[in-house]
Homo-oligomer: A and B are copies of this chain.
Amino acid sequence: MTRPDDLVRAVEATLFAAEEPMSAEAISTHLGGANVKDALAELAEQYRTRGVQLVERGKRWHFQTAPDLAHLLRREREETRRLSRAATEVLAIVAYHEPVSRAEIEAIRGVQTAKGTLDVLMEAGWVRIVGRREVPGRPVIYATTPDFLSHFGLESRKDLPGIDELRAAGLLDPVEDALAAAMDVPDVGETEPAEQESTD
């Protein structure tokens, strides 16, 4: 193992010591403004095959144990909090559709979503309120957080499993849009289905 250069060592030490994932900017600030981009890439490469790896999640970097060693480590930890089925579904809907209102979540799930379900996700630090939709009633809209990406090992939302296929299949579009496309009606809401003359 060759001695890494000083900047790489400094970035390595900083990220090892950090209690939270750090953005490249935060690392740079901590190191007095050095350009850390290359050092991060080099470090990630150096650790690629090791038992500990450097990963980027939502523009923030942290070291974590290699996924293939999960079987060795899992037993010493109590499992992470189990999410209810409702909560996992809501989390998936927020992640794949963000930003999304509660009414939109409910439209997909077909049931009312208890306030507590979103609270659990917000408490876990995976979902947050990102504003209001500028429609009547100004409903609150939700999106996922950088912690969500870190927790599920996603570099960005583009890494959400199957998101490209779902989008291509139109499964992330509202039912109304899909219906319009399927019925070949150019514009839903304005165009009534053409009335057929009944043949009495």
Contact = CB atoms under 8 A, between A and B. Distances in A.
Interface residues of A, number: 31
Give the interface centre of A1, A16, A31, A45 by most chain B CB atoms within 10 Å.
Answer: A16
A13 B72 contact: yes
A16 B63 contact: yes
Contacts of A48: 1
A52 B1 CA distance: 13
Contacts of A47: 1
**So how many copies of this chain end up in the complex?**
2
A112 B75 CA distance: 50
29 contacts: A1-B45, A1-B47, A1-B48, A2-B49, A3-B49, A3-B50, A4-B49, A4-B50, A4-B51, A8-B51, A9-B51, A10-B51, A10-B69, A11-B51, A12-B51, A12-B52, A13-B51, A13-B65, A13-B73, A14-B51, A14-B72, A16-B51, A16-B52, A16-B63, A17-B72, A17-B73, A30-B75, A30-B76, A31-B72
